[in-house]
């Protein structure tokens, strides 16, 4: 991913192990294929998503109505993950929170990817002044500290899950715009696009039929690698009070509200945190496997 | 080199200007109508219009933006709704706390990065368990690391304090960074105590960036150890550790350093969360308090300060990189 000399900023996503970018420059890593660990992560992830969708319906408890004694530890009869300070069933709330996290992360990632796809394609395919302007704007966004800006935007819009999602999407699309622009330029120079151009295809049709198909897999893989990061970011914004307000079952909020009970009932703040970590881990792991498989195919 | 610095500084100015515009828009238009908020929903239309004029809120946006810049230049940042004190006073008091924590976080993540990279390059690159640990470290939210760390080191092992910056009360030293103050005044007990308070928050914030650093360094180290210059060094009789630390690490340092600038952004946002958890009275805690009090102006101002710090540090990292690596400044 080339950075312009003007504002030289590598992509922010680099904390994720193995994301293509400046840091991979000297990497002598051979293409791996998905091993049993990746497959296991994929299976676990699918199960988790299924449970998050169906689970709350199967649970006998409500996420916001107390259902028993307060401060029951995990593995108590009737409450597998215990209850919180109000006597709410943590298991049920964590399932609901997982569902919210997944929803928010998928929407934010999809929005950013689509916005980046449109802007990146426009820049990469048009070239010239438009390309220059769009990429300067993109670089500008990349140079700002993402999560801090997302927090400021969400605070300006007024706390709420929707505001956090908008705030994060605003700082997340530039990554895709850069990626897509590079891929489009690469694809536009390839022989099959040249052939299509010579045989009279042009404009939107050329882009959609001949350029985008080779760009989309890369975007899809990047997006799948990104979901884990977005989940953590959504949780962080919720933790500092920019998500829904209590008693909404949001994972970051649950961890923040339970913090004062860490000494007496550790499970109240810890279990939602573990849930966020697990979700993000599974997404990162499967995303990385997907990338490896795709790279092995492409190479 | 001078051209590179000039170019980088120009970009810096543009980015800071964009940040100013963004923060102005948020503090001006975020958080509802300030006049209505002040006068109440039942105020007459004429009273609202009058106040709007007297506050200059009916002036064109660019005039208001200019006023905003002038006020910023005079450090007139408004009043914090929570403490009823000027925001600038709050910022001045809290900046050293955040700076100290950030500094030690950087130290921690650099140590973690180099150590993990060393282990990684020893074991063969994709040794499964280590890979899982690295992935977990990069995936865990910082509030989980912080609370988990408290559970282990405070509640079970009783070796580290639970929160705050010191057990003795604020330092009277010059810098406002307690460890440094303790060392400067020769009060070693004070410095040691402050260090113990720092350890857990710095580790919790530094683990994620440290792991990311380890990945990059390990990549560089493994390529470096197989490279021609390593073979040359070995054939000249240099020991393996010298090849590793003197040659490979240096060559791996450049991409790692460029990653580090980016990691600072992540670090800043996890510092916000970490400060809240450890009652660390820095900018992050101020930010969370202002969010809780719906104090949009303070939130915008703190974001501006954190943002400018990030952008400045990144520029410094880039310039440092250009100093050590000619490929960057000529590329």
Does the pLDDT at position B107 exceed 60?
yes
- How far away is chain A from the Cα of B185, in angstroms, using its nearest Cα? 35
Name chain A contacts of B29, Cβ cutoff 8 Å. 156
Contact A156 B19 (CB under 8 A): no
Contact A255 B143 (CB under 8 A): yes
Q: Residue B129, preceding bond cis, omega within 30 degrees?
A: no
A118 C-beta neighbours (distance < 10 Å), count: 14
B256 three-state secondary structure: helix
- How far away is chain A from the Cα of B51, in angstroms, using its nearest Cα? 22
Contact A7 B11 (CB under 8 A): yes
Residues of chain A with pLDDT under 70: 1-34, 297-299
Name chain A contacts of B30, Cβ cutoff 8 Å. 155-158
User: Which of B144, B297, B308 to mutate to test binding with chain A, by most A CBs within 10 Å of its CB?
Assistant: B144
d(Cα A104, Cα A95) in Å, to the nearest integer?
14
Name chain A contacts of B253, Cβ cutoff 8 Å. none
pLDDT, chain B, mean: 82
Q: Is A184 on the interface with B (CB under 8 A)?
A: no
Does the pLDDT at position B225 exceed 50?
yes
Contact B314 A9 (CB under 8 A): yes
What is the pTM for the complete model shown?
0.84
DSSP string, B37-75: HHH-TT--HHHHHHHHHHTTTTS-HHHHHHHHHHHHHTT
d(Cα A146, Cα A171) in Å, to the nearest integer?
6
Cα first-last separation, chain B: 11
8-state DSSP, A7: S
Secondary structure of A78-138 in HEC code, one letter for each residue:
CECCCECCCCCEHHHHHHHHHHHHHHHHHHHHHHHHHHHHHHHHHHHHHCHHHHHHHHHHH
Contact A241 B291 (CB under 8 A): yes
**In the structure encoding, which two tokens stand for residue B205, read together?**
């914030």
Name chain A contacts of B273, Cβ cutoff 8 Å. 236, 239-240
Does the pLDDT at position B258 exceed 50?
yes
Q: Is A138 on the interface with B (CB under 8 A)?
A: no
Q: Is the ipTM of this complex over 0.95?
A: no
Shortest CB distance from B262 goes to which of A10, A29, A153? A10
B79 three-state secondary structure: strand
Q: Return the pLDDT at A191.
A: 85
d(Cα A274, Cα A232) in Å, to the nearest integer?
11
Q: What is the pLDDT of residues B114-171, one digit of tens each?
A: 888 888 777 555 567 777 777 888 888 989 988 888 888 887 787 777 777 777 777 6
Contact B208 A148 (CB under 8 A): no
Residue of B nearest to A226 (CA): B139
Q: Which of A89, A98, A107, A106 is nearest to A50 (CA)?
A: A98
Q: Mean per-residue pLDDT for B53-76?
A: 82
């Amino acid at each position: 991913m080339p950075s312009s000399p003007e504002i030289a900023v590598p992509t922010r996503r680099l904390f994720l192990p193995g994301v293509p970018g400046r840091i991979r420059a000297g990497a002598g890593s051979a293409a791996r294929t998905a091993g049993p660990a990746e497959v296991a992560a994929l299976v676990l992830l699918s199960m988790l998503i299924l449970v998050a969708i169906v689970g709350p319906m199967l649970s006998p408890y409500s996420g916001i109505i107390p259902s028993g004694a307060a401060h029951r530890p995990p593995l108590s009869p009737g409450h597998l993950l215990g209850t919180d300070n109000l006597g709410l069933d943590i298991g049920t709330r964590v399932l609901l929170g997982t569902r919210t996290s997944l929803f928010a992360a998928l929407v934010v990632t999809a929005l950013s990817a689509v916005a980046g796809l449109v802007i990146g394609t426009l820049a990469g395919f048009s070239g010239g002044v438009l390309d220059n302007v769009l990429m300067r704007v993109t670089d500008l966004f990349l140079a700002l500290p993402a999560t801090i800006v997302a927090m400021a935007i969400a605070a300006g819009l007024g706390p709420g899950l929707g505001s956090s999602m908008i705030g994060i999407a605003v700082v997340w699309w530039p990554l895709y715009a850069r990626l897509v622009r590079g891929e489009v330029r690469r694809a536009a120079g390839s022989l099959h696009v040249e052939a299509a151009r010579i045989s009279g295809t042009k404009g939107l049709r050329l882009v959609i039929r001949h350029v985008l198909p080779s760009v989309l897999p890369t975007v899809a893989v990047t997006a799948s690698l990104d979901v884990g990061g977005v989940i953590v970011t959504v949780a962080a914004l919720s933790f500092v009070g920019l998500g829904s307000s209590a008693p909404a079952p949001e994972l970051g909020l649950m961890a923040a509200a339970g913090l004062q009970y860490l000494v007496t009932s550790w499970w109240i703040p810890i279990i939602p945190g573990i849930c966020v970590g697990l979700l993000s881990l599974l997404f990162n792991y499967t995303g990385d496997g997907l990338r490896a498989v795709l790279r092995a195919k492409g190479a | 080199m001078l051209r590179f610095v000039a170019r980088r500084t120009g970009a810096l100015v543009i980015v800071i200007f964009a940040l100013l515009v963004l923060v102005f828009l948020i503090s001006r238009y975020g958080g509802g109508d300030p006049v209505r908020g002040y006068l109440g929903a039942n105020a007459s239309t004429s009273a609202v219009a009058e106040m709007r004029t007297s506050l200059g809120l009916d002036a064109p946006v660019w005039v208001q933006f200019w006023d905003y810049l002038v006020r910023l230049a005079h450090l007139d940042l408004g009043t914090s709704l929570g403490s009823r004190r000027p925001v600038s006073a709050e910022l001045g008091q809290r900046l050293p706390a955040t700076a100290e924590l950030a500094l030690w976080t950087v130290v921690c993540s650099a140590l973690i990065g180099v150590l993990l990279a060393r282990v990684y390059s020893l074991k063969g690159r994709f040794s499964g368990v280590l890979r899982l640990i690295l992935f977990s470290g990069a995936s865990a939210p910082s509030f989980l690391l912080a609370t988990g760390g408290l559970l282990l080191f405070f509640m079970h092992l009783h070796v580290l304090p639970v929160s705050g910056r010191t057990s003795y009360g604020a330092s009277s030293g010059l810098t406002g960074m307690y460890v440094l103050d303790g060392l400067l005044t020769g009060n070693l007990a004070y410095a040691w105590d402050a260090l113990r308070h720092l350890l857990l928050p710095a580790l919790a914030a530094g683990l994620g960036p440290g792991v990311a650093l380890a990945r990059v360094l390990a990549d560089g180290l493994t390529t470096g150890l197989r490279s021609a210059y390593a073979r040359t060094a070995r054939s000249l009789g240099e020991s393996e550790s010298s090849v590793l630390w003197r040659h490979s690490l240096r060559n791996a340092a450049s991409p790692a350093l460029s990653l580090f600038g980016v990691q600072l952004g992540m670090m800043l946002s996890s510092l916000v969360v970490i400060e809240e958890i450890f009652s660390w009275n820095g900018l992050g805690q101020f930010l969370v308090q202002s969010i809780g009090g719906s104090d949009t102006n303070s939130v915008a101002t703190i974001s501006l300060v954190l943002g400018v710090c990030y952008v400045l540090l990144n520029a410094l990292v880039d310039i440092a990189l250009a100093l050590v690596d000619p490929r960057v400044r000529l590329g």
